[in-house]
Chain A
Amino acid sequence: MRVMIPAKYRDVVAHLRDGSGILYRLKEYDDHYELEVLTSLSFDRIALGLTERKLGRFYRDVEVVGGSKKKGRDHIVFEPKRPFKVTIRFAEGELSLIKDAARKKGATLAEFIRFHAVDGAFELARGERHGIG
């Protein structure tokens, strides 16, 4: 998924440089910035130093290629398109535990599984910092 940010949001992009490298790659062009994002990503209004109105404008102006954007009051969530289906087998006890943990987190079963699979891999990749295409 690629998030295109117009060049006028230079100040916002300055806040994004911290996560750059592994969670997303930031590329600079003449008229826009491009974030190449690995997985779903959330932008927090306060962390980006935006007012509610500016967040609304920012939301309107960013374009997403290969995914979608969704706006809450204080955040914007970018979700990649997910065309690949992964199948896993579980024992009843395993699935009961996972369902219980997902319910406590307020997540669906698929969200919980995807989050922990990707998060675990992400932590490992952060340690390695190489080898991911």
Chain B
Amino acid sequence: MELDEIIGEDGLKIAFLKKYASVAEALKARGFVVREEGERFIALSPTSYAISRTQARLSPLDFLEFFKTMEVWNGFKKLEAEHEVIHVEPKRPLIMHFRVSASERRLVEFAAKQYLLDLSEYIRMCVTENAVEAFIRARKQKETGLV
């Protein structure tokens, strides 16, 4: 399965002007799918992510302008850490339930507290991280002909 197929038409997308080529490069280097469409770049991601000003290689003013002009589809954007980081989050319309024992719940609550996250944010982070790693590993194995 390719990343485009996984993300789908309803996936998280950002669009930004071609003058921000340094952002496109930074995202490509991190494994994002980045397409060129007319005067803009379109970057796709299956999950939330952050772009820092240093990664984007932009001045504080340009970074602010980049934030204001970028468009987010199927999600939203936030400017954080004193305008140094842009956080992009997808809409999350799908609800999933699973069951835990009392001690599993205590254990996960303890870990979430260490990361200053709520329970569902922490679980989503753990699970999504592992799924993304598994996907990247499988893609690398395919590329190197190991599978």
A38 contacts the other chain (CB 8 A)? yes
B4 to chain A, nearest CB (A): 10
Quick one: CB contact mask for B61-91 with A, threshold 8 Å, 1 for yes? 0000000000000110000000000000011
CA gap between A110 and B111 in the complex, in Å: 19
Closest-by-CB residue of A relative to B138 is: A104
B146 contacts the other chain (CB 8 A)? no
**Chain A to chain B contacts (Cβ below 8 Å), 13 pairs:** A39-B104, A80-B103, A86-B100, A87-B95, A90-B94, A91-B12, A93-B12, A93-B46, A95-B94, A97-B128, A110-B99, A121-B107, A132-B110
CA gap between A101 and B6 in the complex, in Å: 12
Q: Name B's interface SS.
A: helix
Contact A89 B8 (CB under 8 A): no
CA gap between A116 and B106 in the complex, in Å: 15
B124 contacts the other chain (CB 8 A)? yes
B78 to chain A, nearest CB (A): 16
CA gap between A37 and B47 in the complex, in Å: 34
Taking Cβ atoms with an 8 Å cutoff, the residues of A that contact B are: 1, 37-39, 66-67, 80-98, 100-101, 104-105, 109-110, 112-114, 116-122, 124-125, 128, 131-133
Q: A92-B10, A121-B110 are in contact. Are A114 and B100 (CB under 8 A)?
A: yes
B146 to chain A, nearest CB (A): 14
Among B14-22, B35-43, B115-123, the one that faces the other chain is B115-123
- Complex interface: chain B residues within 8 A of A125 (CB): 107, 110-111
B147 to chain A, nearest CB (A): 11
B43 to chain A, nearest CB (A): 13
Taking Cβ atoms with an 8 Å cutoff, the residues of B that contact A are: 1, 6-8, 10-12, 45-47, 74-75, 90-108, 110-112, 114, 119-120, 122-124, 126-128, 130-132, 134-135, 138
Contact B107 A122 (CB under 8 A): yes
CA gap between A83 and B126 in the complex, in Å: 22
Q: A121-B107, A131-B110, A132-B110 are in contact. Are A90 and B131 (CB under 8 A)?
A: no
B46, B97, B98 — which one has the most chain A CB atoms within 10 A of its CB?
B98
Contact A113 B96 (CB under 8 A): yes
A53 to chain B, nearest CB (A): 31
A120 to chain B, nearest CB (A): 4
- Not counting A66-B101, A86-B100, A93-B90, a sample of 7 additional A-B residue pairs whose C-beta atoms are within 8 angstroms of each other reads A39-B103, A91-B90, A93-B46, A110-B98, A114-B99, A117-B108, A117-B123
CA gap between A10 and B131 in the complex, in Å: 41
Contact A97 B135 (CB under 8 A): yes
